[in-house]
Amino acid sequence: MVQPVEQEVLPLAGFTVATTAERRRDELINLLQRRGARVVSAPALRLIPLADDENLFAATRSCLDVPPDLVLITTGIGLRSWLEAADGWGLGDRLRAGLGRCEVLARGPKARGAIRAVGLLESWSPTSESVAEMLAHVLSRDIAGLRIAIQLHGEPLPDVVQALQDAGAVVVEVPIYQWLPPLDLAPIRRLVEQVTTATVDGVVFTSGPAVTTVVETARDMGRLDALLAALRTDVVAFCVGPVTGARLDAVDVPSVQPERFRLGALVREVVTELPARKARSLPIAGARLELRGHAVVVEREGHETFLPLAPAPLAVLRALADRPGRVLSRAELLRVLPTSESGRRPDEHAVEVAVARLRAGLKPLDAVQTVVKRGYRLVYEPDSTAALV
C-alpha cells in the first residue's frame, strides 16, 4: 500500500497527462512533472534530418537563383534551422545576404527574435501570431508578379499557397522540417487504448500532424469512435493553438487552448483547467475528499494529504462517490472493478478486498461504512460543507 504523502499538494498531483510531442518533448514532460502530473509520453511524429532533405535544398537554391521579393518567416526555429542547413551546404552566407535584400514578415515574437539575431529586420508582424493574419496582410496589397517565399513549419500550407498564387504571386515553399508518423507506432496505440479507457485524464497536442497521427492510428485499430467519444467526455484535449486545435475541430472534439501560443502558457492552461474539469470534491466523514485521477486528496483541519490508490479501490471509491451516501451492493460494485491483466473477471470476494484496501488507503479517515446485508456507502456529510471551506 502506498503511504500517504503529507506535504504541499502540487496542482496536477493525481492526474495523468499524455503528451504527443517530439520536439521539446523533455521540456514539456519536465514542466508537467514539476507540477505533480504523472506523464505518459507517446511521440506522434518524427523529423526528417535537414541535411538529407532534398526539397529544402532545392527551395534554397531557388531562392538564391531568383531572390524572392517577400519572405514569410513562420517560426524562429525554422529560420535558424534553414540557415544551419544552408551553412552545411556552403550556402549560408549567400542565403543571409539574399534575405537581407528581401522584405521579411515574421509570424510572432520568436520569429522576430530569430530574424534580428542574424542581423535582419522584419517589416511587419501580426498581433495574433497567426499565419491567417499574415496571409490577410499580404493579400491586402497588389502582389501580382511578386515572388514570395514562405517558410513552412512542419507541414504544407496548401490553402495559403493557393491563395497567394490566385492573387498572382509566384510562391516558393521552403520546408524547413517535415513531420512524418513515428517508425514505431506502439506508443501511439497504447495511448489510444489509454484514452478510450480513460486511464489518462488529459492529452496535450503541440502540432496538427500529431492529432492526425493519433486519429488515423485509432481508425486503423478500429477504435476511432471510442477515441473520439472519450475526448468529447472523459479526457480533456489541450492544444497549443488554433492551428493544432483545428484538427480536433474537424472531428468534433473540443479542445482547451492558451491565449498565447507558447509551451509555458499551454502548461499553465493544463494546471488551471484539468483540476477544474476533472477533480471532484465531497464532504466525507468530517473531511473534504477530492478525487483526482488515480489518487485522492484529503483535507482536514487545514492540512492536505495526498493518497495514491490502486485501480480496484479507486474504482470502488468512484462508484460510491457517484452516488454519495447511497448504499451500493456488492453486485453493483463488482461491475466497476477492472479486469485482471489476464482478462479474468473478478468475483464478489474481490469487492471485499477492494473495499478493505480502500479503507486502509484512506486511514485514518473512516469514510466507507458497511450496511449489513446490503452493501457499502460513503459517510457523506453535505451539511458539513460550510464548516470545511
Same structural domain, 169 and 79: yes
**What number of other Cβ atoms are within 10 A of residue 10's Cβ?**
15
- What is residue 214's predicted lDDT score, i.e. its pLDDT? 96
287 inside domain: yes
> In CATH, what number is assigned to the domain containing residue 75?
3.40.50.10090
Residue from 304, 345, 349 nearest 330 by CA: 349
Q: How far apart are CA 57 and CA 49, in angstroms?
A: 12
Q: Strands 280-284 and 375-378: what pairing?
A: unpaired
Top-confidence residue, 137 or 380? 137
- What is residue 266's predicted lDDT score, i.e. its pLDDT? 93
By the 8 A CB rule, do 179 and 42 touch?
Answer: no
7 inside domain: no
389 inside domain: no
**What pLDDT, in 10s, does the model give residues 309-363?**
999 999 999 999 999 989 999 999 999 888 766 566 777 788 999 999 999 988 8
79 inside domain: yes
308 inside domain: yes
Question: Quick check: 50 pLDDT over 70?
Answer: no
Question: Quick check: 23 pLDDT over 90?
Answer: no
By the 8 A CB rule, do 349 and 268 touch?
Answer: no
Same structural domain, 296 and 265: no
Residue from 221, 275, 247 nearest 154 by CA: 247
By the 8 A CB rule, do 177 and 78 touch?
Answer: yes
Same structural domain, 309 and 364: yes
Question: Quick check: 100 pLDDT over 60?
Answer: yes
Same structural domain, 78 and 168: yes
Q: Which three cell numbers stand for residue 330?
A: 456488492
Question: Quick check: 280 pLDDT over 80?
Answer: yes
**What number of other Cβ atoms are within 10 A of residue 331's Cβ?**
10
Same structural domain, 328 and 228: no
Same structural domain, 250 and 316: no
Question: Quick check: 140 pLDDT over 50?
Answer: yes
Residue 42: HSE in the Cβ half-sphere, 13 Å Cα cutoff: 25
Same structural domain, 378 and 314: yes
**What pLDDT, in 10s, does the model give residues 141-169?**
999 999 999 998 767 788 899 999 999 99
Calculate mean pLDDT across residues 374-378.
93
Residue from 68, 235, 243 nearest 155 by CA: 243
Calculate mean pLDDT across residues 6-20.
88
Which pairs count as long-range contacts for 287-290, CB under 8 Å and 24+ apart, including other chains? 287/365, 287/388, 288/388, 289/321, 289/362, 289/365, 289/367
Sign of CA dihedral 340, 342, 344, 349: negative
pLDDT interval class at 46 (50, 70, 90): confident
Overall number of domains in the chain? 3
Calculate mean pLDDT across residues 372-388.
74
Calculate mean pLDDT across residues 228-249.
92
**What pLDDT, in 10s, does the model give residues 67-95?**
999 999 998 888 998 999 899 899 999 99
Same structural domain, 215 and 133: no
Q: What residue numbers bound the domain in which 233 lies?
A: 16-44+183-278
256 inside domain: yes
Same structural domain, 75 and 94: yes
Domain boundary among 118, 145, 180: 180
- What is residue 51's predicted lDDT score, i.e. its pLDDT? 60
CA distances for 55 relative to 59, 170, 260, 265, 272, angstroms: 6, 17, 31, 33, 42
SS3 250: coil
- Give every CB contact of residue 98 below 8 A, 6+ residues apart in sequence: 63, 64, 67
Same structural domain, 39 and 187: yes
Spacing of C-alpha 90 from chain mean position: 38
* Low-confidence winner among 53-57, 169-173, 203-207, 210-214 (lowest mean pLDDT): 53-57
By the 8 A CB rule, do 174 and 59 touch?
Answer: yes
Calculate mean pLDDT across residues 105-121.
93
- What is residue 359's predicted lDDT score, i.e. its pLDDT? 93
- What is residue 304's predicted lDDT score, i.e. its pLDDT? 87
Same structural domain, 298 and 372: yes
9 inside domain: no
- What is residue 243's predicted lDDT score, i.e. its pLDDT? 77
> In CATH, what number is assigned to the domain containing residue 351?
1.10.10.10
CA distances for 83 relative to 94, 121, 215, angstroms: 10, 16, 34
Domain boundary among 222, 247, 278: 278
Same structural domain, 132 and 62: yes
**What number of other Cβ atoms are within 10 A of residue 248's Cβ?**
23
Question: Quick check: 386 pLDDT over 50?
Answer: no
CA distances for 60 relative to 1, 79, 85, 161, 236, angstroms: 60, 12, 10, 17, 41
34 inside domain: yes
Q: How far apart are CA 259 and CA 254, in angstroms?
A: 16
Residue from 232, 234, 364, 266 nearest 307 by CA: 364
Specify burial of residue 65 (Cβ count, 10 A radius: 0-12, 13-18, 19+): exposed
**What number of other Cβ atoms are within 10 A of residue 326's Cβ?**
12
Question: Quick check: 49 pLDDT over 70?
Answer: no
pLDDT interval class at 132 (50, 70, 90): confident
Domain boundary among 132, 160, 180: 180
